[in-house]
Each structure stands twice: as structure tokens, then as C-alpha cells.
Chains A and B, each alone.
Chain A
């Protein structure tokens, strides 16, 4: 018999995980759908940050206040430090080495 508090916790956790999975799915879809490199990069880093955050937050809510959820918090912190940094560096490299990038950007990035 689940109490009302447990029901609320379950619903919040499940909702967070479902939203995170939705973001991850969007990221993967965008990664294949977009043709322009910076758009692809944006969707890829979206999955790494926002999708990871919501799925792990949902798992944390479901597992309650334990050492396990503290570890998941550490995973989130680690990902939010490293993943944007690596995406940023990749984009930086792309922009500084690819000469025609400004023109493609102005054309709408369809190429």
C-alpha cells in the first residue's frame, strides 16, 4: 500500500525521466536530421546536458535521499562541467578552421 507521499514521489520521478527521455530522443533525432555542423553540435550537447540532467534527476527522486542519489548528483555535476566544455571546444575548432562557415550560416544552414 503506497502512501500519498510515495505516489507523489513516483509521479514526479517518472515525469522527470519521461521528459529526459524526450529530450534525449530529440537530441538524437536532431543529430541525424540537421545538416549544418553547428546545429548538429547544439542538439548533441543538448542531449548530454539537459537530457542527462532530467533522467538522472528522475532516478534520484525515485531512489530517495541515499548515497546512491548523491553519486548520481556527482555524475550530473561532472557532466555539466565536462560536456559543455568539450562541445564548446569542438565548435571553436570548427569555426576557426572552416573558412566558409559564415556564408553557410547566412544561407540558412541547409547545406
Chain B
């Protein structure tokens, strides 16, 4: 039944009117489809005659008068919506809590506990790292997964499938100047790369001790990888840091994060001893899981940044990469 209906609809799209479906039908099916056919043709006749409201409206929509009316309505509604939003926002402002007031709803027992017992419970002297990687580690895992999902969707969009279709696929172009960068840029990069890499690693490793952490350190590392690829060519960088390496490194980092945090959630929820010592606050190897989690986040961020650059510069990814 449904199949016949689709078939007649297809016929209508091709020929302009509904007709009987194919010959290969049993009498009962033909009966059924002819009933459908009559109903459809009746509807079509009603639409095509100049009597009904719908066809007249549809034909009126194409006239310049309709376009002018639409333009006027658009202006009026745009003004009304803008004014409404502005007024609503302005009316809300006086009801907001005063800035810096100690009785604000943001200053509740949660932030109090973070500040007072954060060092003791997480072992991190950087209280922000203690918050995002211990109290709210689940949230940070979600953020890292968002980066990975963005990387995957860009890879899907830029993927070039070569199997089975030889024609109409442009070659993936390597930039004309790839690896032929200016000599000035190369010398500057030679000086800068070790420094920026070490600085990025420092920021990642010291996330629980000082300002920084996985996100900012990973950004520095990703930027230095982009600089390296710009100065010496993406071909040379791909020998040891290709898209595949990038993808698997991100995957491994996310898996490690999920496993480590699952362990600590499991033991914490069941009131078990986790066996992870918090160490002395201020030492490099302290604060329990925060250091490895920072490393994972740093890997994810650096790989995402670099792979965005690498994918968009070549304009496509070979199949299977």
C-alpha cells in the first residue's frame, strides 16, 4: 500500500498527474491503488482549479505585492523583536545581585568549601586545577570529548573517499609553498620552537602547582606545532606527527582520563580506599590524579588544535587516514 502510494507520487513528480501503478500487482492491490488514485486525482483537480483558497494563495505568493508585504512585515517584526529583547534585558538588570556583595548567591557553601578545604582534599595548591580536575572532573571529561567530537566531525566533512569513484575528485592539494617557507621564519622558528615546547610542557606539568593546566599548556603546544608545520612544511612534520597519530593520541588520552576518573569515582562512591596518595602539597608529584589528568587534557587540546590546522590547510583527508 505504502509502496504503491510512493510509486504514484513518484509518477506524479515525473509526469504531472497521478496514474495507475505498475502492472505487476494482484487484483486486490490494483483495486486498492485505484481508490488511492481517485482520491489523489480529486485533490489534484481541486488544487489546480482557480476556486480553492490554497492555490490562489500559492499563486499570490509569487507576486511583487507579496514580496513588498513580506518585506514590511520583516521590518516590523525585526523592530518588535529587538525592542522586546532590549526591554526585557534592561528590566532584568536592576534585579541582578550587586557586584561584589558578599551575600550574593554565588558565594554559597560550595565555593566556601572549595576555598577552605580544597588544598586538604585535592592536594593541589592551584585551587582552580583542584576544582576542574577533582571536584568537577566529569565536566572536564565532557569538555575534552567535545573537542574530540569537533575534530571527528571536521574529519568527516573533509574526508575524500577514493574507493569506487575515480572521476570528479580533485587531488588533495598541498600548499604550493609547503616546506619552502621564508628563511627568516625558519630561523626564528629554530630559536622559538624549543622554548615554546618546553614552556607548554611546563605549564601542563605545573597545572596543579601554579596558574595554567592542561587547556592552556595544550594550546601552547598546539600553537608551536602549527608554527613548526608552517616553517618546515607539513610533509616533514607528518613523518612523526600525522593525522593518524593525532587521532590515536587523542583517543588514548581520553580513554586514560575516563579510566582513571572511573576508578576514583567508583572508589569514592563506595567509600573505599582509593590508594592514591595526595602527597605533599607543592611537590611536583602530588595532588593524586590531577597531574595525569592534566597530561591527558593537554594531549587532547594540542592534538585538536594542530589537527584542525592540518586538516584545513590541505583541504581534505585521504581515505583511511
A residues near B, CB below 8 A? 81-82, 84-85, 88-89, 92
Contact = CB atoms under 8 A, between A and B. Distances in A.
Nearest to B188: A85
Contacts of B184: 84-85, 88-89
B182 A88 contact: yes
Identify the interface centre among B182, B184, B188, B192: most chain A CB within 10 Å of its CB.
Answer: B188
A-side binding surface: helix, strand, loop or mixed? helix
B191 A89 contact: no
Interface in B45-71: none
B182 A81 contact: no
A82 B182 contact: no
Interface residues of B, number: 6
Nearest to B186: A85
Contacts of A85: 184-185, 188
10 contacts: A82-B188, A82-B192, A84-B184, A85-B188, A88-B182, A88-B184, A88-B185, A89-B182, A89-B185, A92-B182
Interface string B101-126: 00000000000000000000000000
Contacts of A92: 182
Contacts of B188: 81-82, 85
Contacts of A81: 188, 191-192
List the 8 shortest-distance A-B pairs measured between CB atoms, nearest first. Answer: A85-B188, A81-B188, A88-B184, A85-B184, A85-B185, A81-B191, A89-B185, A81-B192
